[in-house]
Amino acid sequence: MLNYFTDPILRGPTLGCMLMCLAASLMGVIVFLKKRSLLGEAISHAAYPGVVVGMGAAALFGVALEGSALIFAIAGALLFSAFGLKAVDWLEKRRRVPSDAALTFMLASFFGFGVLALSWLQGAYPIFARQVQLYLYGQAATMTDLHIGVYGVLALLVLLFIAAIYRPLQAILFDEAFAKTSGIASCFLSRALFFLLLLSIVIGVRCVGVILMSGMLIAPAVAARQFTDRLGMLFWLAGLFGVASGFLGNWISSEGSSVLAALFPDKRLSLPTGPMIVLTGAAFSLLALLFAPKRGVAARAARILRFRVRCIEENILKAVWKKEEIAIRELRRVHHVGAPVLFCLLLRMQREGWINSRKRKISLTQDGMRKASRIVRLHRLWEVYLSELGWPEDKIHQSAEEMEHVLTSEFGERLSVQLSNPLLDPHSQPIPERHG
């Protein structure tokens, strides 16, 4: 893999894409936290007609395609993106158009104008028109050391700016009203941030294309958000995911294209670099959404399963506590638990030292008695509390059945003191003592 950083052909795409993804992912965090994720999509599409007009201007002035035409394209993209952003702001604030409608209108109208302008450019200057296509779909594989310098300056500018305004940035992102009243130049900083966002999107369009740029902007931020609640760590993780996406996208594109060429020599199949970078970032986001330790779907499903298992175990302990001994068949009938599941639960409870099993009947150990009496105590204290509140009698028991698994012993004791340490529940049943 070291060749990707030293080889003259591979070095430009690899380092250029990594630096572009770093800048885009850091700006993407700000857009993501301000809940303006669609803004990146709209700005990237608004940049497209600017690229077309810029290339057309370069052709009219006789600029060499390999020379300053890139500067014309970037300048045109910046101009149109800024104009599109002002148009959205005008529609939202002056005409009171909803944000999503304004962004969608701007995206469609600017992109449509770009396609119209491209049709003229194809007839007048076909060579320049073919160059414009690089900005529509991206052409990371043709990047050179010049692009490393451009994206390096962009990434450094974004890093330094975020580091310099980190404290005010927190206020702007999470409490804009406080930022305005505390003397922070929130208006100036917001404009500077949006300028950097425009710059990141416009320059990044050359790498992954107009259509995919918004994905590269948001995907690392989405992945990073699943692992942290702190802004500083969010920036670090988003940058890490962005850089990793840039490198792995290049690596998969290069190696995958070689494999496809070997397997299908007659079909000329390949994996384009820009889409592979965005797909890699999307893969990071999907894996984070599924397997992040706290927020991931798998972790949440595991917590839900553990809670349900604990509820069933506590209900079993409570049922045995009331009868001192109960048949396994009766447990299955009362709790509607399948035989394999019940067998596993009873085996675990026996291993924990809560129950004894003899002749297909279950009884409690000393530890099991204490645990079961604690559950019953919480249940009956909650019933007393609801009765004091005037809760309907037909709903008291069901509510206590749900709350007994959620209440802690500490809360139960505070509730008992609040209720003057009652001895009986509303049904005249004794409330177990604190230590069983």
- For residue 431, being part of any structural domain is answered with no
One domain, residues 139 and 211: yes
Give the pLDDT of residue 73: 87
Residue with tokens 């700006």: 27
Give the pLDDT of residue 76: 92
Q: How many CB atoms lie within 10 A of CB 187?
A: 11
Given 295, 322, 348, the domain boundary residue is 295
Q: Tens of pLDDT along 79-129? A: 999 999 899 989 988 889 998 899 989 989 999 999 999 999 999 999 899
One domain, residues 41 and 82: yes
Give the pLDDT of residue 436: 56
Average pLDDT estimate for 20-29: 95
Q: Sheet of 355-358: strands edge to edge? A: 325-327, 361-364, 355-358
One domain, residues 28 and 107: yes
Is the pLDDT higher at 366 or at 71? Answer: 366
Average pLDDT estimate for 252-274: 90
How many structural domains does the chain have?
Answer: 2
- For residue 151, being part of any structural domain is answered with yes
Q: How many CB atoms lie within 10 A of CB 190?
A: 15
One domain, residues 13 and 132: yes
pTM of the predicted structure, to 2 decimals: 0.86
One domain, residues 226 and 340: no
One domain, residues 288 and 311: no
One domain, residues 248 and 324: no
User: Given a cut of 70, is residue 67 above it in pLDDT?
Assistant: no
294: left (phi over 0), alpha (psi -120 to 50) or beta: alpha
Given 295, 322, 342, the domain boundary residue is 295
The string of DSSP letters for 229-279 reads S-HHHHHHHHHHHHHHHHHHHHHHHHHHHHHHHHH-TTTT----HHHHHHH
- For residue 389, being part of any structural domain is answered with no
Q: Which domain holds residue 168?
A: 3-295
Residue 115's CATH number: 1.10.3470.10
Given 364, 386, 406, the domain boundary residue is 364
Query: Using 50, 70 and 90 to split pLDDT, how confident is the model at 15?
Result: very high
Query: Using 50, 70 and 90 to split pLDDT, how confident is the model at 208?
Result: confident
One domain, residues 236 and 125: yes
Q: Tens of pLDDT along 127-184? A: 899 888 878 778 888 888 888 998 999 999 999 999 999 999 999 999 888 888 888 8
- For residue 284, being part of any structural domain is answered with yes
One domain, residues 79 and 125: yes
Rounded to 5 degrees, what angle do the CA atoms 306, 308, 309 make?
Answer: 65
One domain, residues 27 and 168: yes
Query: Using 50, 70 and 90 to split pLDDT, how confident is the model at 221?
Result: very high
One domain, residues 32 and 68: yes
Question: What CA–CA distance (Å, rounded) separates 229 from 294?
Answer: 11
One domain, residues 167 and 307: no
